[in-house]
Amino acid sequence: MTDAATVELDPILETDFIKEMVKQMRAIDSYGTYDGWPVERILAPYILTKEQRREIPVIGDPDEQTLSRVKAFYNAIAALIEKECGLMAVPMMNITHEGFGRALITVGKLVVMDRTVRDVHRYGYESLSKMKDEADKLLSVALQIVGSHREVAEL
C-alpha cells in the first residue's frame, strides 16, 4: 500500500471538523486553485513541525495567507457550534500587524470563545490530529457555555 492510500484511509479525514476545514479553505480559494486537490494537500499549510516553526521569522507583518488560515480555523469552529446548537455563531478576529490579537466567537449576546492569538506568523499544528483536538476542546467548552446560558445565546 502506498503512503497516499494510507492517508486516504485515515479516519480523521471523515470527521466533521476536517470536512468543515476543507469547506472553509475552499471558500477562501477564489481562483479555484484547490479544485481537484486531496484533503491532505488542502490542509497541509496547517501542519508545521517545531523545526519549521522555528525557521519562520516573526519580524514583519503576518502574510495574508496565514491570516486567512487562522480565520478559516475559527470560522470552522463557529460553523460547528452553529450546527450543534442551532443558533448563529459569529467569529470575530482582531490581529495586529505584529501577529498578536484576539479571536472571539459569539452566539447571540453570549461570548462562547475568547482566545488570545500570539505569533500568528508561526501558526500551525504538529498534525491534523492535534489541530482537531484543539478544535474539539474549543467546541466542547463553547457548547457547554451555550447550554448553561441558552437564554443569553438566544438574544
Output the domain CATH number for residue 42: 1.10.3100.20
Backbone torsions φ then ψ of 101, nearest 5 degrees: 170, -150
With CA atoms as reference, report the closest residue to 131 among 29, 51, 47. Answer: 47
Which residues touch 90 (CB under 8 Å, ≥6 apart)? 78, 105, 106, 107
pLDDT reported for residue 7: 44
Q: Which residues of the chain have pLDDT under 70?
A: 1-9
Burial of residue 148 (CB within 10 Å: 0-12, 13-18, 19+) is: exposed
- Which pLDDT belongs to residue 150? 92
* Whole-number pLDDT of residue 61: 84
What total number of domains does the chain contain?
Answer: 1
Per the structure, the complete domain to which residue 102 belongs is given by 3-153
Does this model's pTM top 0.85? yes
- How many Å separate Cα 24 from the centre of its chain? 9
Q: 46-86, pLDDT tens digit by residue?
A: 999 999 888 888 787 888 999 999 999 999 999 999 999 99
Q: Which of 127, 131, 149, 151 is nearest to 139 (CA)?
A: 131
User: Is residue 136 classed exposed, middle or buried when 0-12, 13-18 and 19+ CB atoms within 10 A define those classes?
Assistant: middle
Written as nine digits, the cell of 33 is 486553485
